[in-house]
C-alpha cells in the first residue's frame, strides 16, 4: 500500500510502499477512504509533541471501510464504514478509566501519534474506539468530524450554555462548532488572524453575528470563549473579553507559552481550563446530534501523496475549513 511516513520530526513526510497490515485479535483492517489533516498532525511533525512512535504514519481523522476482522471482534462487520478518532486505546484500569475519564488515561494510545494512522491506503484499528458514521456524509466530508468536530464539541460542552460565545481561530473545529451554536440560538463571535478578511466573511456566512481580528475586543462582553488557535498570548486576551463568571476553554493539545497576566482579569470567578482528548461517550453524543441536526463541512481535498502540501497550507493559514487527504 501507499503511505506517507514520518521518519524524523521536523522533516517532510516520505511516500513509501509498504505491506498492508494484518489485523490481530481485537482489530479490524480498514481500507481508508479519507483522512483529515489536523493541526495536531503539524504539532507532531514539527516536534512540538515530542513522543511519537517513529517511524510513524500520521493521521487521526480516518474514514474507512472494514475489509477484514481479526478474532474476537463483535459488533462491526466487513463492508461497514467507520470513523477512527485520536483516542485509539485505553487501559481500562487506571484511576481515570475507572472514573469515566478515559480521555485522561495514563496508558492511552493515540491514532497517528503512538499508533499508526490514516495517511495510508489501509490501516488497522480497535473497533471499540471506532464510530459508525451518519450515511448522509460523504467520506471526505466526514473526516474532519473525527477530531475537529469531536474536540470542538467537547470544548463547547465545557462552556456551559453561553448566550455570547467567542471562537478564537476560525478553522476546522470552529467552522463546525459555529453551526451547532447558531442552531442552538447562541450568538457567535469569531476571531481570526489579523487582517484575515476571508475567514471573517466565512464566519459570517455560517451565522456569526460579528467577526474580527483576534486582538480586537468584541463589541459586547462574552459569556464564554474557546481558543482553537494554539497561541498562548490569546489567553489573557480572551480573559479580558469574558464577563465575571465567564469561561475560557483552551481546546488544543499544544499551545505556545501563556504570558503572565494581571490577576484582576481572572478574578471575578472567571474560569480557565483545558480540554484533553475525547471519550467514546463524546463521540456517541456528537454523532447522534449531527445525525439529527447536520452540519456542513468546508473542505479542501488533496491526494495522499500531496500530504506535505496540505500540511504547509495549514501551517500558513491558507485552508478555509479543513484539509482532507483522499486516499482511495
pLDDT tens digits, one per residue of 271-281: 999 999 999 99
User: pTM of the prediction?
Assistant: 0.95
> Is the separation of the CB atoms in 44 and 56 below 8 Å?
yes
Q: Which residues of the chain form beta strands (DSSP E)?
A: 2-5, 14-17, 28-37, 62-69, 81-84, 87-89, 109-110, 122-125, 131-132, 164-168, 187-192, 210-213, 222-227, 242-250, 271-274, 299-303, 322-326
Whether 328 has a pLDDT exceeding 90, the answer reads no
Instruction: Give the C-alpha separation, 152 to 174, whole Å.
Output: 7
| pLDDT tens digits along 298-308 | 999 999 999 99
pLDDT band at 103 (very low <50, low <70, confident <90, very high): very high
> What is the domain partition of the chain in residue ranges?
2-147+277-326, 159-274
Instruction: Give the C-alpha separation, 243 to 246, whole Å.
Output: 5
Question: DSSP state, 4?
Answer: E
- State the average pLDDT over residues 173-187: 97
Instruction: Give the C-alpha separation, 285 to 246, whole Å.
Output: 25
> Is the separation of the CB atoms in 252 and 228 below 8 Å?
yes
pLDDT band at 41 (very low <50, low <70, confident <90, very high): very high
pLDDT of residue 50: 87
Instruction: Classify domain 2-147+277-326 at the CATH topology level.
Output: Quinone Oxidoreductase; Chain A, domain 1 (3.90.180)
With the C-alpha atoms ordered 138, 140, 145, 146, is the resulting torsion angle positive or negative? positive
**Residues with Cβ within 8 Å of residue 274, at least 6 apart in sequence:** 249, 250, 251
Beta bridge partners of 16: 3
Q: What is the mean pLDDT of the chain?
A: 97
- State the average pLDDT over residues 82-109: 97
Domain 159-274 class in CATH: alpha beta
Looking up cell 494510545 gives: 109
- State the average pLDDT over residues 131-160: 96
Whether 16 has a pLDDT exceeding 90, the answer reads yes
Question: DSSP state, 294?
Answer: -
pLDDT band at 296 (very low <50, low <70, confident <90, very high): very high
Amino acid at each position: 500500500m501507499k503511505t506517507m511516513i514520518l521518519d524524523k520530526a521536523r522533516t517532510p513526510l516520505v511516500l513509501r510502499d509498504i505491506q498492508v497490515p494484518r489485523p490481530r485479535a481485537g482489530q479490524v483492517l480498514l481500507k481508508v477512504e479519507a483522512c483529515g489533516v489536523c493541526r495536531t498532525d503539524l504539532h507532531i511533525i514539527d516536534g512540538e509533541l515530542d513522543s511519537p512512535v517513529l517511524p510513524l504514519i500520521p493521521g487521526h481523522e480516518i474514514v474507512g471501510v472494514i475489509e477484514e476482522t481479526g478474532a474476537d471482534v463483535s459488533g462491526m462487520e466487513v463492508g461497514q464504514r467507520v470513523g477512527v478518532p485520536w483516542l485509539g486505546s485505553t487501559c481500562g484500569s487506571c484511576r481515570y478509566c475507572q472514573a469515566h475519564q478515559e480521555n485522561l488515561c495514563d496508558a492511552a494510545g493515540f491514532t497517528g501519534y503512538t499508533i499508526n494512522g490514516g495517511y495510508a491506503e489501509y490501516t488497522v484499528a480497535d473497533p471499540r474506539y471506532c464510530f459508525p458514521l451518519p450515511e448522509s456524509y460523504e467520506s471526505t466530508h466526514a473526516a474532519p468530524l473525527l477530531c475537529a468536530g469531536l474536540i470542538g464539541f467537547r470544548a463547547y460542552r465545557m462552556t456551559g450554555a453561553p448566550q455570547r460565545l467567542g471562537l478564537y481561530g476560525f478553522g476546522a473545529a470552529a467552522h463546525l462548532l459555529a453551526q451547532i451554536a447558531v442552531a442552538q440560538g447562541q450568538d457567535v463571535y469569531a476571531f481570526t488572524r489579523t487582517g484575515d478578511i476571508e475567514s471573517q466573511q466565512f464566519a459570517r456566512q455560517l451565522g456569526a453575528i460579528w467577526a474580527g481580528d483576534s486582538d480586537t475586543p468584541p463589541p459586547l462582553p462574552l459569556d464564554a470563549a474557546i481558543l482553537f488557535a494554539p497561541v498562548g498570548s490569546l489567553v489573557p486576551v480572551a480573559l479580558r473579553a469574558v464577563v465575571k463568571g465567564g469561561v475560557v476553554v483552551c481546546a488544543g493539545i499544544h499551545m505556545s507559552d501563556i504570558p503572565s497576566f494581571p490577576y484582576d482579569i481572572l478574578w471575578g470567578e472567571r474560569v480557565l481550563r483545558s480540554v484533553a482528548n475525547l471519550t467514546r461517550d463524546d463521540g456517541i453524543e456528537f454523532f447522534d446530534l449531527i445525525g439529527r441536526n447536520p452540519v456542513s463541512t468546508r473542505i479542501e481535498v488533496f491526494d495522499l501523496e500531496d500530504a506535505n502540501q496540505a500540511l504547509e497550507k495549514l501551517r500558513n493559514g491558507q485552508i478555509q475549513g479543513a484539509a482532507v487527504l483522499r486516499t482511495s
